[in-house]
Amino acid sequence: AQKITQTQPGMFVQEKEAVTLDCTYDTSDPSYGLFWYKQPSSGEMIFLIYQGSYDQQNATEGRYSLNFQKARKSANLVISASQLGDSAMYFCAISFGNEKLTFGTGTRLTIIP
Amino acid sequence: DTGVSQDPRHKITKRGQNVTFRCDPISEHNRLYWYRQTLGQGPEFLTYFQNEAQLEKSRLLSDRFSAERPKGSFSTLEIQRTEQGDSAMYLCASSLAPAGEVENIQYFGAGTRLSVL
């Protein structure tokens, strides 16, 4: 079965510093998509960034970038210049074809002023 | 475009009662998904629709659960004879899935938090 692992249950980072959230996955399927979502305390899952397994370049969206290392099966999220509003739960997810997302257990990020 | 809308935001019910949740997806999105999230966990897939057809159901979806998307627009999720273990956040997501492509970005609503007493 496909699996997503997030090994950091919680992280504390000083405001304006960069932060890396870890995500590894396990699949033998060559075609898949990797996603990161942010979930503030309000509960809504906010899409941040997407990386396809065949994409040659690492995805970037503003302050978010995805460090995709296919051979190591890792898809870490990098947030540059962290802000207080970045405090939230962050989930990594994987999907195959136009189908469901399988999520990791999440990392709670707290930005310290 | 308005986002995915879910109603109600919160529902408190007594064990054994039936509850129904509604999800309005982003207009023109052909796919609609239901997930369940319990405390401290990531969302878990329940079921999804392409237009009005229900294409997959998780084994998490017991016989007490039923979902519909009658006209390919909004969807309802009904839980019959609720149990305390049904207490969770129920999240709905929608996407415009291009045929044959892996990229399928799902946009989520704010969820319905169910508490079964």
Q: Are B22 and B75 in contact (CB under 8 A)?
A: yes
Taking CB atoms and an 8 Å cutoff, what residues of chain B touch A105? 40-42
Task: Write out pLDDT tens, residues B3-17.
Answer: 999 999 999 999 999
> What phi and psi, each to the nearest 5 degrees, are found at residue B93?
-140, 155
State yes or no: pLDDT of A16 exceeds 70.
yes
* Cβ separation B56–A37 shorter than 8 A: no
Instruction: Report which DSSP code applies to A45.
Output: -
Task: Write out pLDDT tens, residues A39-55.
Answer: 999 889 999 999 999 99
Token code pair at residue B96? 């415009």
Q: Are B17 and A82 in contact (CB under 8 A)?
A: no
Nearest to A43 among B103, B107, B111 (CB): B111
How many residues does the structure list for chain B?
117
Q: Which of A42, A61, A99 best probes binding to B when mutated, by most B CB atoms within 10 angstroms?
A: A99
Calpha distance A61→A52 (Å, rounded): 14
Task: Write out pLDDT tens, residues B11-60.
Answer: 999 999 999 999 999 998 999 999 999 998 999 999 999 999 999 999 88
For chain A, percent of residues with pLDDT exceeding 70 = 97
Taking CB atoms and an 8 Å cutoff, what residues of chain B touch A21? none
Calpha distance B27→B2 (Å, rounded): 8
Token code pair at residue B108? 């989520």
Instruction: Report which DSSP code applies to A6.
Output: -
Nearest to A101 among B101, B106, B113 (CB): B106
Taking CB atoms and an 8 Å cutoff, what residues of chain B touch A102? 45
Task: Write out pLDDT tens, residues A69-97.
Answer: 999 999 999 999 999 999 999 999 999 87
Q: Which of A6, A100, A102, A103 best probes binding to B when mutated, by most B CB atoms within 10 angstroms?
A: A100
pLDDT value at position B9? Answer: 96
* Cβ separation B102–A33 shorter than 8 A: yes
Calpha distance A3→A105 (Å, rounded): 11
- Closest to B30 (Cα-Cα) out of B3, B14, B49, B11: B49
Helix/strand/coil percent split, chain A, to 5: 5, 50, 45
Of the pLDDT bands very low, low, confident and very high (cuts 50, 70, 90), residue A98 is low
Instruction: Report which DSSP code applies to B81.
Output: S
